[in-house]
Amino acid sequence: MNAILFSSMVTKMLPDDYIGFTFFVGCMAMMAASAFFFLSLSQFDKKWRTSVLVSGLITFIAAVHYYYMRDYWGAFQESPTFFRYVDWVLTVPLMCLEFYLILKVAGAKTNLLWKMVFWSVVMLVTGYFGETVFSDQAARWGAISGAAYFVIVYEIWLGSAAKLAQAAGGDVLKTHKILCWFVLVGWAIYPLGYMLGTEGWYTSILGSGSVDVAYNIADAINKIGFGLVIYSLAVKSTGTANS
Ligand SMILES: *C/C=C(C)/C=C/C=C(C)/C=C/C1=C(C)CCCC1(C)C
């Protein structure tokens, strides 16, 4: 791809380029969050280190993609949809892994992990089709993607993951609940952004807007916020090790 061509390019940022601004701030925030998670690792009990490490990997993978997306936007003033979805297809399964790692204490099996990963990939691949190759049928692909999203929401709120969290109780249950809210509310920003950026029945209601601003804000909330929730569970569960 042209990645090598534009990655070393310096482009002019116009003062009213608020989309470019959110790419820059997003990139920096993801880098800072990664440093924060990685450098905190040694303070935790072994069994929580993997969870915090995964939080750091999620923001680190995003930081690398934001670095490219920021350049791409600067060079072409166009949505970096390809990099966006490569980022998501790597980071969303890692967020599913976070659910699994937390619930392992209550006996979560790997089939829970694979079920969530499967539906998240269905959600993202169909979303990608709707935004790119089949954009004249964006509403239809978005609906399929939305259905897969609801399978995930169901699984964590009411399905087997919810039962495991209930069985674990305590801080694990509390953390699971907060992560459930991230998926229900924080992740819902993405379909909203999709509807702002594509044409469909919803366009007459919502109008159009910047899909990138919506996605950039959502990523900051969901990747950094989600990671911090895991981080605070690890802090609490490590007990007196910090004092
Ligand atoms: C770090 C990145 C995250 C948490 C990305 C999450 C993405 C979604 C929840 C995307 C969902 C979509 C729909 C539910 C319908 C329209 C198409 C998508 C892919 C934007």
* Structure confidence at residue 16 as a pLDDT band (50, 70, 90): confident
Write the pLDDT tens digit of every residue in 30-65.
999 999 999 999 999 988 999 999 999 999 999 999
**CA–centroid distance, residue 89 to ligand 1 (Å):** 10
The full set of domain ranges for the chain reads: 17-235
Half-sphere exposure at residue 207, Cβ-oriented, CA atoms within 13 angstroms = 2
State residue 241's pLDDT score. Answer: 44
Query: What span, in angstroms and rounded, lies between the C-alpha atoms of 108 and 99?
Result: 9
Write the pLDDT tens digit of every residue in 95-112.
999 999 999 989 999 999
Query: Regarding the domain delimited by 17-235, which CATH topology (the fold level of the hierarchy) does it fall under?
Result: Rhopdopsin 7-helix transmembrane proteins (1.20.1070)
Write the pLDDT tens digit of every residue in 135-183.
999 999 999 999 999 999 999 999 999 999 999 999 999 999 999 999 9
Write the pLDDT tens digit of every residue in 64-79.
999 999 999 999 999 9
Place of tokens 């049928």: 137
Instruction: Report the chain's mean pLDDT, rounded to a whole number.
Output: 93
Residues with CB under 6 A from ligand 1: 88, 91-92, 95, 123-124, 127, 142, 145-146, 149, 187, 190-191, 194, 219, 222-223
The residue whose CB lies within 8 Å of the most ligand 1 atoms, and thus the one to mutate among 131, 145, 154, 181, is 145
Half-sphere exposure at residue 51, Cβ-oriented, CA atoms within 13 angstroms = 28
20, 102, 32: which is closest to 60 by C-alpha? Answer: 32
pLDDT of 239 > 60? The answer is: yes
